[in-house]
């Protein structure tokens, strides 16, 4: 069993299900100690922790925290430091994805997206720095391949705006004196359409089938197909990967 993350402490936001859960399991399979974050689904988080305990050499702890607030983000950071004394890897996976074209965008919708998808991840990264090894720390953000795709519905306006911001934050932090220049790598994963609860929410089956058809293999990505790239970015082998947005999308965009 690979152990490149042995005893590394990782926080994965939004990790009780879907991509986040797959990342937590992939980390633990390599020996990491993982904070499994959930908002409401304690049962799902406990299932992830149980799987890790029974199947890996890693460790896991479920922590409830609302990723739409700075206080929630700090709760996760504090839990990791209290439990294991440090933070080696911070994966900022949690997000919200609403639907509204410009005509229907409200200030409330805009604020919800930018708080959850940009503000909280940015300030979590800022607060995590004091607990990260320099060099050796890892910040991993999440974007979307919709930032590059030609075929997308304009009602994802607020969502793609936040993810465009994340990609630019990644570039800036990679050169920041306290981050990239100090040996903490900063990278972003940008999946394409992936078969998750967030992706399926509000979509009729016809739309889901259409998006699957845009991939060369005519299928949606699966969470377990995203997690290995995140595990690589968290590993020592990725020390020369910095400031990059990596589109893990099966050819959805090329």
**Residues noted as catalytic:** 159
Segments of 1-123 assigned E as strands: 9-12, 33-38, 59-64, 89-92
Neighbour count for residue 208 (Cβ, 10 Å): 15
Longest Cα separation, the chain: 53
Contact 28, 53 (CB under 8 A): no
Contact 12, 23 (CB under 8 A): yes
Neighbour count for residue 89 (Cβ, 10 Å): 28
d(CA 28, CA 192): 25
């Amino acid at each position: 069993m690979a152990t490149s993350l042995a005893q590394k402490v990782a926080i994965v936001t939004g990790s009780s299900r879907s991509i986040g859960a797959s990342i937590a399991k992939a980390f633990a399979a390599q020996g990491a100690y993982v904070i499994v974050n959930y908002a409401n689904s304690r049962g799902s988080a406990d299932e992830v922790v149980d799987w890790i305990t029974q199947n890996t050499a890693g460790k896991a702890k479920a922590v409830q925290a609302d990723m739409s607030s700075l206080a929630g983000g700090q709760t996760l950071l504090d839990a990791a430091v209290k439990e294991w004394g440090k933070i080696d890897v911070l994966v900022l996976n949690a997000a919200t994805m609403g639907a509204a074209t410009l005509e229907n965008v409200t200030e409330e919708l805009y604020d919800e997206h930018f708080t959850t998808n940009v503000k909280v991840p940015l300030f979590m990264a800022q607060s995590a720095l004091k607990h990260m090894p320099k060099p050796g720390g890892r910040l991993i953000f999440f974007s979307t391949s919709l930032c590059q795709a030609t075929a997308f519905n304009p009602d994802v306006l607020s969502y793609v705006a936040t993810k465009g911001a994340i990609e630019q934050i990644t570039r800036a932090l990679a050169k920041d004196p306290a981050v990239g220049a100090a040996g903490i790598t900063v990278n972003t994963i940008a999946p394409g359409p992936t078969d998750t609860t967030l992706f399926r929410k509000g979509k009729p089956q016809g739309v889901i089938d259409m998006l699957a058809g845009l991939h060369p293999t005519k299928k949606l990505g699966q969470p377990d197909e995203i997690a290995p790239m995140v595990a690589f970015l968290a590993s020592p082998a990725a020390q020369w990967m910095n400031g990059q947005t990596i589109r893990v999308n099966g050819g959805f965009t090329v």
